[in-house]
Chain A
Amino acid sequence: MPNYFKLKQGLDIRLKGASIATSVPEDIPAPQTIALKPADFQGLTPKLCVKVDDSVKAGDALFFDKYRPDILFTSPVSGKVKAIQRGDRRKIMEVVVESDGKNESQTFLKKNPLQLTREEICEQLLKSGLWPFIQQRPYGIIANPKDTPKSIFVSFFDSAPLAPDVEYILKNDKVALQTGINVLHKLIDKPIYVGISSKQEKSMFTSLSKNMIVNIFDGPHPAGNVGVQINHVDPIAKGEKVWTVSPQALVYIGRLFDTGSLDMSKVIALSGSEVIEPKYYNTIHGTELCELLKGKTKGKVKERYISGNVLTGTKINTDNYLGFFDNQITVIPEGDEIESFGWIKPGLNKFSASSTFLSKIFHKKEYVLNANMHGDERAYVVTGQFEKLLPMDILPGYLLRAILAKDIDKMEQLGIYEVIEEDLALCEYADTSKTPIQDILRKGINTMINEVG
């Protein structure tokens, strides 16, 4: 009998434009170019191992971590390196690969992971470039292959606004999923923790049974955040480490061991109020977005394109690429226009976490929300907002103050090891004073990495 966790705190932001699950995801022409973006990884210093015009196969390294050179980042497709885009101070922004359409892969070990040793599995994951999917909590950084974490967590549902249905996007990969779970199991030699939502009790995830322990979570966002699940199942204390992996990565890992080749095709959701027909598409890891987005948005207002969801995603242009961890593109109105006397209007169309707008009387209505700040940054005044949005025994307001004061002891005691940006994203959304909470939190985490390690 799986453990059942009922979470009260949190908020489901009811946005318009959820992707509709058709019987099969729509096919679109294979992308001409794909790219990896080092900025998708916290604290990574990339070092290139290819030049422009080098030809690569899927699974050939493009760059690696300067301080941990065995962690490779590999091309998802075969082709040749088209460009290395640099930003300020020659920072590497994107390594772009032009696909040759053949999808040839390097050959990797094709073997049942349960018969391999931990070392062999680590080596295969590192060499194939799938290791960066294994993230370490605390800090939300790429895990260190030399560590043995106390547990590994996978969350099989995404509760963020307009998030794709994880079961739908993985439905053809049940076998790979089980192989992926077996691989992770071999890394720690005990079952891994799997979180599913109360609506998934009869889903395919419960029929995967080997080498995992299922926990059921019932509640609004952020119940699907793996950090929340860790906090309830196996909380992190000082010095402890937990690894987290996305379900999509499990599939990549499973396919790698099942077939001996790197296959990074995936299904993503195109969603948001400005999308004409929000639905799912078959595509590939790191795909370019210009083809995908062409003609699919309404174009009536200035639009904002987000790789990921509206709470934690990255703002992108249409000529950019899908983020490493993202299964979703969201398009919302930019909303860069003034509104007169907005602070006093009743607000029937204004979704709010507070009860100060008349929209509170609607319980099912979906809303178009734009990227406007709806106010300017102010001093911290209103209390009790954050606690309602974080289903953990953590006082976000005090944690943030400890970070701003650079008080390492207090940060430690108040729970900085347990949270990353996505866990406090709702607080940032709802904050009356418009504090950049995710930025502050990352600064605190970086302080901890520098001072404590």
Chain B
Amino acid sequence: MKHLNNLFEKAKPFVEKDGKFHWLYSTYEAFYAFCFVSKNTSKSGTHIHDYIDLKRTMSIVVIALMPALLFGMYNVGYQHFEAAGMLNSTEFFNIFWFGFLKVLPIIVVSYVVGLGIEFLFAQLRGHQVNEGFLVTGMLIPMIMPVNVPLWMVAVATAFSVIFVKEVFGGTGMNVWNPALVARAFLFFAYPAHMSGDSAWISVSGIEKLADGFTGATPLAQAVTAETANVPIPVDFWNSFTGLIPGSIGETSTIAILIGALILIVTGIGSWKIMLSTVGGGVVMALIFNIFGGNNTYMTMPFWNQLVLGGFAFGTVFMATDPVSSSQTERGKWIYGFLIGVLAILIRVINPAFPEGMMMAILLMNTFAPLIDYIVVQGNIKRRMKRSKIIA
């Protein structure tokens, strides 16, 4: 540690003002802050400060994402070897390794592009680098289909960091969840790569696909089944564990639940939003169940709705983003509930958008300030009323 500190101390004169590499100052500072908590002490106000900082907060979210990410890597390999009909003859480690090699480049591209832009903006503004992108950079790969071209990841990341985050003022100021916008950007700009049956399973190098292979996600199958009016072929257990085609990190409900547990126990993710989103989803699914008639998608039981597609992932990791979600405690209940309702509504009613969760969260991101406004006005009214009673 001492050597590392000495190294930083030696580099300092070069990046400080008037130094030769001053344009790297924000970068220097970010790396320093990554390695060390600075020795700044309290100058005004409280003399003691909590040990928590934004870096720790974000790190915990990244840790919470790990189970879903690791499972996602395994699942990429699993889907590949299943498509090739070689699942039984391949060892666990090889399955994982295949997925790892597929996913790692996407993660690297996301971080390099995103952090590069963040560092640049921090330097231009003379700010310190905020830690927000640690999470965003991990979320973006996890909601991509595995076959997404790397240049698309780069374009989408750049788009969302610049136009969703930095133009609004950087971390803490964005209206929408940057990771979701990256996904939405690709969804609308390059639909051919983001949906359809070829996006979800890496079939490169497979000479002969297994019999009965379609490559479609269960949500896409559900739409097909609805049109044909046949029962929807959902295997609840496979969907729950996550051995289904889908975006890299979204398939395994159980891995996501482990992440949810970490977020709730540490208090980093709002349990109110998670609970109300699930509640909203269940309510909407039940309404469809009751009034859906013969439509097979509408009569799909709610527990299947919850484990399919991005619902679980969105609930735990996207809806709870503190910046783009509702900021008042009451508002969080309303916000989450409406996400759940809208996600199922969009998914079932509009077959063009199988991923209703993404739409629902972005829509509610837009309305979150309105919800907060109503809650704050409620607080103001209550306070005014109170004073009238006294007078």
Contacts and interface: CB of A to CB of B under 8 A. Distances in A.
Interface of A: 13, 15, 161, 234-235, 237-238, 240, 304, 306, 310-313, 315, 330, 332, 334-344, 347, 350-357, 369-384, 387, 393-395, 397-398, 413-415, 421, 425, 428-434, 436-439
A379 B382 contact: no
B328 A356 contact: no
Given A234-B390, A238-B387, A381 B46 contact: no
B60 interface: yes
Nearest to B328: A395
Contacts of B270: 383-384
B329 A379 contact: no
A339 B37 contact: yes
B211 interface: no
A342 B386 contact: no
Interface stretch (B18-26, B127-135, B141-149, B221-229): B127-135
A366 to B, nearest CB: 13
Interface stretch (B49-57, B95-103, B279-287): B49-57
B41 A335 contact: yes
Contacts of B268: 354, 356, 382
Interface in B360-391: 376, 379-380, 382-384, 386-387, 390-391
Nearest to B4: A340
A238 to B, nearest CB: 7
A172 to B, nearest CB: 31
Contact of B38 (A237, A376, A383): A376
Given A356-B268, A428-B46, A375 B53 contact: yes
Contacts of B328: 383, 395
Interface in B256-310: 265-268, 270
Given A374-B49, A433-B54, 9 more contacts: A161-B48, A330-B47, A341-B35, A369-B48, A375-B54, A376-B40, A414-B379, A425-B45, A432-B50
A284 B51 CA distance: 36
Contact of A372 (B5, B40, B265, B379): B40
Contacts of B172: 378-381, 433
Contacts of A374: 37, 49-53
B351 interface: no
B45 A338 contact: no
B50 A371 contact: no
Contacts of A330: 47
B171 interface: yes
A377 B127 CA distance: 10
B54 A235 contact: no
Contact of A235 (B59, B380, B390): B390
A381 B376 contact: no
Nearest to A357: B51
A237 B51 contact: no
A351 B51 contact: yes
Contact of B51 (A238, A347, A380, A381): A347
Given A335-B41, A381-B323, A413 B46 contact: no
A370 B48 contact: yes
B51 A342 contact: yes
B57 A432 contact: yes
B170 interface: yes
Contacts of B52: 352-354, 356-357, 374-375, 430, 432
Contact of A439 (B44, B266, B376): B44
A395 B173 CA distance: 19
26 contacts: A237-B386, A240-B390, A310-B46, A311-B47, A336-B40, A338-B37, A342-B51, A354-B267, A357-B52, A371-B41, A371-B42, A371-B47, A371-B48, A372-B49, A373-B49, A374-B52, A376-B38, A379-B172, A379-B173, A381-B172, A387-B329, A393-B383, A394-B383, A398-B376, A430-B52, A432-B50
B365 to A, nearest CB: 14
Contact of A381 (B42, B171, B383, B390): B171
Interface string B1-38: 10011000000000000000000000000000101111
A312 B46 CA distance: 6
A380 B54 CA distance: 9
A332 B322 contact: no
Contacts of A428: 45-46, 49
B45 A384 contact: no
A350 B42 CA distance: 17
B39 interface: yes
Given A235-B386, A355-B267, A376-B40, A343 B45 contact: no
B327 interface: yes
A345 to B, nearest CB: 9
B378 to A, nearest CB: 10
A355 B266 contact: yes
A378 B380 contact: no
B47 A310 contact: yes
Given A306-B47, A332-B48, A344-B59, A338 B53 contact: no
Contacts of B384: 237, 413
B204 to A, nearest CB: 36
Nearest to B171: A379
A384 to B, nearest CB: 6
A15 B386 CA distance: 37
Interface in B141-170: 170
Question: Among A330, A374, A421, which residue has the most Cβ atoms of chain B within 10 A?
Answer: A374
Contacts of B60: 356
Contacts of A306: 47
A304 to B, nearest CB: 7
Nearest to B40: A373
Top 10 closest A-B pairs, CB basis? A375-B53, A379-B172, A237-B387, A342-B37, A438-B45, A343-B55, A350-B51, A343-B56, A383-B327, A339-B37
B138 to A, nearest CB: 15
Contact of A315 (B35, B47, B57): B47
Contacts of A421: 45
Contact of B50 (A304, A310, A395, A431): A431
Contacts of A393: 379, 382-383, 386
Contact of A429 (B4, B36, B49): B49
Contact of A336 (B39, B48, B380): B39
A347 B35 CA distance: 16
B190 to A, nearest CB: 31
Contact of B322 (A352, A383, A434): A383
Contact of B53 (A311, A337, A341, A343): A343
Contacts of A335: 39, 41
Contacts of A415: 383
Give the residue among A237, A306, A378 with the most B Cβ atoms within 10 A: A378
A394 B41 CA distance: 29
Contacts of B391: 237
A301 B325 CA distance: 44
A340 B266 contact: no
Contacts of B173: 379
B333 to A, nearest CB: 12
A25 B379 CA distance: 47
A417 to B, nearest CB: 10
B51 A434 contact: no
Contacts of A438: 44-46
B372 to A, nearest CB: 8
B383 A413 contact: yes
B294 to A, nearest CB: 44
Contacts of B48: 13, 15, 161, 310-311, 332, 369-371, 429
B161 to A, nearest CB: 15
Contacts of B42: 371-373
